A and B are shown apart, each in its own frame.
Chain A
Amino acid sequence: MYRYDDIDRTLVNERVAQFRDQTRRFLAGELSEDEFRPLRLRNGLYIQKYAPMLRVSIPYGLLSSQQLRMLAHIARQYDRDYGHFTTRQNIQYNWPKLEQVPDILADLASVEMHAIQTSGNCIRNVTSDHFAGVSPDEIADPRAYCEIIRQWATLHPEFSWLPRKFKIAVSGAPLDRAAVEIHDIGLRLLRNERGELGFAVLAGGGLGRQPIIGKQIRDWLPELELLGYLEAILRVYNRYGRRDNIHKARIKVLVKALGAVEFARQVEVEYAANREFAPVLKRAEVERVAGFFVPPDYEELPEQGVPANADAAFAAWHRHNTRAHKAPGYRAVFVSLKKHGEAPGDMSGAQMDAVADLADRHSFGQVRVTHDQNLVLADVPQRDLAALHRALEALGLATPNIGTLTDMICCPGLDFCSLANATSIPIAKQIHEKFSDFDYLYDLGEIQIKMSGCMNACGHHHVGHIGILGVDKHGEEWYQITLGGSARENAALGEVIGPSVPRSDVADTLARILEVYVNRRGDDESFLQTVRRIGVGPFKERVYAAVDTAA
């Protein structure tokens, strides 16, 4: 993975000193809350319901075991011994003390980490495919480009005060595990007939109050032109994005207002006009950074499946929580943070330490965070899988539910977040309780539930196969259900099935929806395929007929 040099190290250390000074001035009354807010937000520090919340950047979700141990240390030392992994592959701490945040940042800097630009109206953490570098279907490893974008975006002189937050995702595989179509800018790595690398560029995607799927504005961007073209997009957005209304300020609103064709034209005009000054990547720099992401020293190992005498728990875990690897004899392994009864994405300090040890023992000392709030040990020899399974099971991290209904995305919701309208974690627990039969979950197959406690959509509900959105009705929590969304390639927004349902009825409503699926599905037809084929009508009928009968 990428290692800091003197410039990187100096920058994060100077950032710590800067924030220490800003915090001191705020606590001394030299900075007002209004003045301090945009400064602290640029270091991921929110003021939440009960305490500040600190969001730490995990660039494109990649961690060393040493860094994961530091995250555990921070959880223990400054928080209540846990952290929450997010859909931007970051980690959030819910209970730090404001005056201790500079010390936390200094601890992070000691392991080449930071919280720079994890919130605020600036370019946020670049996200990517959690199987980058190991997936058999990959065109090229996206991580070098992610790191190059991370550096370019960090403390950018011109684009640090944008109209609104700005999110970039990069995918290097035809199967889109990075949700590039719902990002402000989505980049898809391509290889042309001459074997050269480049990008398809999408812009104007995003969720929130006005969910929009991104539009492709450039079919082929040569790789070395990446930063110059990003500058052109950002400059058009910085100049012309709306600043009069926070809800209309994302780039998606500008792209929609101009139309994707006109937006693309303006970007091309700006790009052409800026040739003399636009940054051009040097081949040597790309190679320098790519050199940090070369494959580890894989052994030559035979492929080995699940032994015939393996116990059922191992077989189920192997089937659901491990994935194919491009190196023979290896698998990529999910560490499930979706144990039934626990808040999705949460992890204790002890669990983090233990997974760091497992990464050292079984996966070249690296861990990835997925955007659906699990971890991945990406390079595990198949001969180690049984031992790894036993160890994860003992830690409560082997729930064999990856890709199933209970592997849901869930925001912190009203329990922590001051923006939320409704809770999400208790709803996740309600769903866990209702759907505790794994045979039923396996029979249902792949279903993604994504849940947000408000329309800001941190839980990506619009693109869940089943989306759940918490709404407030006269002080009561209600939940709106959407069906048919997807964040994969050919992304789609879910369709609302009807009036929202009360808090106590969410899991029962899902049961009725799943009943329709089981009754109507064709052979090997997934939930999403069935919804796309028959539409939301039959589901709606079943859900609301039941309500009428009950009334």
Chain B
Amino acid sequence: MRRLIRQREIVADDWRYPGEAGTGLQVLRLVELRDAVAAGTAPASGAGVWLEPADEVEQLAPLLPRVALVVLNFPKFGEGRGFSQAQLLRQRHGFTGELRATGKIQRDYLFFLARCGCDAFDLDPAENLEAALAYFGTFTVAYQPSSDRDVKLRSRPAA
């Protein structure tokens, strides 16, 4: 079973990604969730949805009350659209469920992803999760306000 970091702890995953067989809750692609909503077969809450980098969070936004998990896929190193997806989901669209990054991400990306509001991390299979946990604290200071509250900021925005 897949292991991942959730809320700074290593846990076993209880979800199945699109195309994966087995037990566990099924994560739907955005188009599948939209189709299910249109057909009236979507759950009212607790759904999991998978976003590719090109998926528009604006299309997901109206469905967020039904969603408990958003998985942001980073299919290759250096892919950066997920950082904007995360910020938009947390800030503009007020998503409070699990926001998970998966794909080509390593411990060195954790600080940035966490600052953008991700709270679950399914790292590259080659990564050592126990070692990775220390990397949330790579930096203890930051210049920009963001979606997190863990760092000391130069100045907080007017509240």
Binding site for B on A (CB under 8 A): 7, 10-11, 14-15, 18, 22, 31, 34-35, 38-39, 121, 151-152, 154-163, 235, 238-239, 243, 273-274, 276-277, 279-280, 282, 285
Task: Decide: A285 and B155 in contact? CB cutoff 8 A.
Answer: yes
Q: Which A residues lie within 8 Å of B148 (CB)? A: 157
Let me know if B32 is at the binding interface, CB within 8 A: no
Q: Do A162 and B80 have beta carbons less than 8 Å apart?
A: yes
B144, A156: Cβ atoms closer than 8 Å: yes
Chain A: minimal CB distance from B151 (Å): 10
A161 and B83 in contact, given A38-B77, A273-B92, A277-B92 (Cβ under 8 angstroms): yes
Residues of B within 8 A of A11 (CB): 139, 141-143
Q: Could you tell me the distance between the alpha carbons of A277 and B64 in the complex, rounded to whole angstroms? A: 20
Tell me if A38 and B83 are in contact (CB < 8 A): no
Q: Which residues does chain A contribute within 8 Å of B143, judged by CB atoms?
A: 7, 11, 151-152, 154-155
List chain B residues, Cβ under 8 A from A282.
155, 158
Chain B neighbourhood of A285, CB < 8 A: 154-155
- Chain A residues lying within 8 Å of B53, measured Cβ to Cβ, are 243
Is the CB–CB distance between B81 and A238 below 8 Å?
Answer: yes
Q: Which residues of B contact A280 (CB under 8 A)?
A: 157-158
How far, in whole Å, are A18 and B84 apart by their CA atoms in the complex?
Answer: 24
- What total of A-B pairs shows CB separation below 8 Å? 96
Instruction: Determine if B112 is an interface residue (Cβ-Cβ < 8 Å).
Output: yes
Known contacts A158-B84, A239-B84, A243-B79: A152-B138 contact under CB 8 Å: no
Digitize B131-159: 1 where CB-to-A-CB distance is under 8 Å, 0 elsewhere: 00000001111111111100010110110
Assess the A14–B84 pair: CB atoms within 8 A. no
Starting from the known contacts A243-B79, A274-B91, A277-B92, 19 additional A-B residue pairs (CB-CB under 8 Å) come to: A11-B139, A15-B139, A18-B138, A152-B144, A157-B87, A157-B144, A158-B84, A158-B146, A161-B78, A162-B80, A235-B87, A238-B83, A239-B81, A273-B92, A274-B92, A277-B91, A277-B145, A279-B157, A285-B154
With known contacts A121-B78, A235-B84, A7–B158 Cβ distance under 8 A: no
Residue of B nearest to A121 (CB): B78
Give the secondary structure class of B's interface.
loop
Question: How close is A123's CB to chain B, nearest CB, in angstroms?
Answer: 12
Nearest-neighbor residue (CB-CB) of A9 within chain B? B141
Residue numbers in B under 8 Å from A7 (CB-CB): 141, 143, 152, 154
Across the two chains, which residue of chain A brings its CB closest to B76? A243
Q: Does chain A have a CB within 8 A of B116?
A: yes
Chain A CB within 8 A of B115 CB: yes
Q: Are B116 and A158 in contact (CB under 8 A)?
A: yes
Residues of B within 8 A of A239 (CB): 81, 84
Binding site for A on B (CB under 8 A): 53, 77-81, 83-84, 87, 91-92, 106, 108, 111-112, 115-116, 138-148, 152, 154-155, 157-158
Known: A154-B143, A157-B112, A273-B92. A34 touches B155 (CB 8 A): no
For B84, what are the chain A residues with a Cβ–Cβ distance below 8 Å? Answer: 158, 235, 238-239
CB proximity of B34 to chain A, nearest CB, Å: 20
Residue on B with the closest CB to A235?
Answer: B84
The chain B residue sitting closest to A150, CB to CB, is B143
Q: A35-B106, A156-B144 are in contact. Are A14 and B81 (CB under 8 A)?
A: no
- Residue from the list A14, A121, A156, A279 in contact with B141, Cβ < 8 A: A14
5 tightest Cβ-Cβ pairs between the two chains A and B: A161-B80, A157-B115, A151-B143, A277-B91, A158-B83
Q: Which residues of B contact A162 (CB under 8 A)?
A: 80
- What B residues does A159 contact at CB under 8 A? 80, 83
In the complex, what distance in Å separates the CA atom of A239 from the CA atom of B51? 13
Q: How far is the CA of A18 from the CA of B157 in the complex (A)?
A: 27
Given A14-B138, A39-B108, A277-B91, A163 contacting B80 (CB threshold 8 A):
yes
- Return chain B residues, CB-CB under 8 Å to A22: 108
Residues in A whose Cβ lies below 8 Å from that of B145: 277, 279
- B157, closest chain A residue (CB): A279
Which residues from chain A contact B141 at a C-beta distance below 8 Å?
7, 10-11, 14
B111 / chain A contacts, CB cutoff of 8 Å: 155
Contact between chains at A151 and B87 (CB < 8 Å): no
Q: How far is the CB of A164 from chain B (nearest CB, A)?
A: 10
Measured between alpha carbons, how far is A277 from B77 in the docked complex, in Å? Answer: 28
Q: Is the CB of B87 within 8 A of A155?
A: no
Among A10, A160, A161, the most chain B Cβ lie within 10 Å of the Cβ of: A161
Residues of B within 8 A of A35 (CB): 77, 106
Name 24 interchain pairs, CB-CB below 8 A, sorted by A. A11-B143, A18-B138, A31-B106, A151-B154, A152-B144, A155-B112, A155-B139, A155-B143, A157-B83, A158-B83, A158-B87, A159-B83, A161-B80, A162-B80, A235-B84, A235-B87, A238-B81, A239-B81, A239-B84, A274-B92, A277-B91, A279-B157, A282-B155, A285-B155
